[in-house]
Amino acid sequence: MSMQYPEWIWHNGAIKHWAEATTHVMSHALHYGSSVFEGIRTYQTPNGPVIFRLTDHNTRLFASAKIYDMAMPYTVEQVNQACRDVIHANNNTTDYLRPVAYRGLGGFGLSADTPTDLAVATWKMGQYLGASVLEQGIDACVSSWQRFAPNTLPAGAKAGGNYLSGQLVAREARRLGFGEGIALASTGLLSEGAGENLFLVFEGALHTTPVSAALLNGITRNTIITLARDAGVEVVERDLPREYLYLCDELFMCGTAAEITPIRSVDGRQVGTGKPGPVTRRVQELFFGLFEGKTPDKRGWLEAL
Ligand code: PMP
């Protein structure tokens, strides 16, 4: 992903210039993966710019920190405000926020009570998996790498170290010429994409893999489940074997970065007609409708910027 660096970053309570928002090479997180983070999008709506589910994302940030027993020297509302401040500092030119809390400098060793540093960066993400994928879909493969077993690392934490798994899956997929990789859980059943949750359409219902399948409980996943149920679409959270990827009528990935990306083939097998199907399109309409003023925001998900 090429990236244009925005000028300002929020770091430990102050807005700093990009070049000054640095951390020491002896920071704990750099050695041990001890960071927790979020990815949050902003959208333009007819009523002005919004941050999508800001509070839910930062609540998950604190949940991830709790799982890893990492002290958070701020409140959720303070991190929300840091998110708003950094967007304003960059003149509302970005569409993606990245709060990251990490064990910094001071105390070394695995169990050290290293102080927690916090940064909030922002940049322009655009379409994460490439231009026009939302319409055309991507070709995916099942990775040779499995997700970690639930008694090894907690998949429910969005922690830096967990993303070693995602890197193996995503890099293998790209090297083989695929748009994204899908991982199986240690049970051999479907888990999720390298950085996205999975939905498939089978016998008219939407199916998604359960949180027990070593996945991150995505906020986009929750948004889709909620909007689909509101619209009368049946949604089932269930264990799914790999072959359902080949046999389903429709398949898509979702996440803050990926939004709702249709998958047109898996392991060289065409999914359904090879084009985004009616349920996928309906879910895209409901989701993007939130930002177009077409889907009512019943739950206060569109938060003021
Ligand atoms: N799974 C993984 C591993 C992810 O990194 C992400 C992106 N945060 C997701 C799922 C989707 O989560 P969300 O919808 O909250 O962005």
pLDDT (tens place) for every residue of the chain, 305 residues total:
455 689 999 999 999 999 999 999 999 999 999 999 999 999 999 999 999 999 999 999 999 999 999 999 999 999 999 999 999 999 999 999 999 999 999 987 999 989 999 999 999 998 777 768 888 999 999 999 999 999 999 999 999 999 999 999 999 999 999 999 999 999 999 999 999 999 999 999 999 999 999 999 999 999 999 999 999 999 999 999 999 999 999 999 999 999 999 999 999 999 999 999 999 999 999 999 999 999 999 999 999 99
User: From the CB of 216, is ligand 1 less than 6 Å away?
Assistant: yes
Tell the burial category of 262 from Cβ atoms under 10 Å away from its Cβ (0-12, 13-18, 19+). Answer: buried
Active site (annotated) includes residue 16: no
Q: What is the largest CA-CA distance in the chain?
A: 57
Looking at residue 131, what is its pLDDT? Answer: 67
Looking at residue 182, what is its pLDDT? Answer: 98
User: From the CB of 39, is ligand 1 less than 6 Å away?
Assistant: yes
- Those residues whose C-beta lies under 8 Å from the C-beta of residue 184, and which sit 6 or more positions away, are 142, 143, 146, 147, 190, 191, 242
What sign results for the dihedral spanned by CA atoms 257, 103, 34, 36?
negative
Ligand 1 centroid to residue 218 C-alpha, Å: 5
Q: What are phi and psi of 157, to 5 degrees?
A: -95, 135
Q: Is 175 helix (H, G, I), strand (E, B) or coil?
A: helix
Ligand 1 centroid to residue 106 C-alpha, Å: 31
The Cα 150–Cα 172 span in angstroms is 23
User: From the CB of 98, is ligand 1 less than 6 Å away?
Assistant: no
The Cα 57–Cα 54 span in angstroms is 5
User: From the CB of 221, is ligand 1 less than 6 Å away?
Assistant: yes
ipTM exceeding 0.95, yes/no: yes
Looking at residue 203, what is its pLDDT? Answer: 92
pTM beyond 0.95 = yes
57, 110 Cβ separation under 8 angstroms: no
Ligand 1 centroid to residue 256 C-alpha, Å: 7
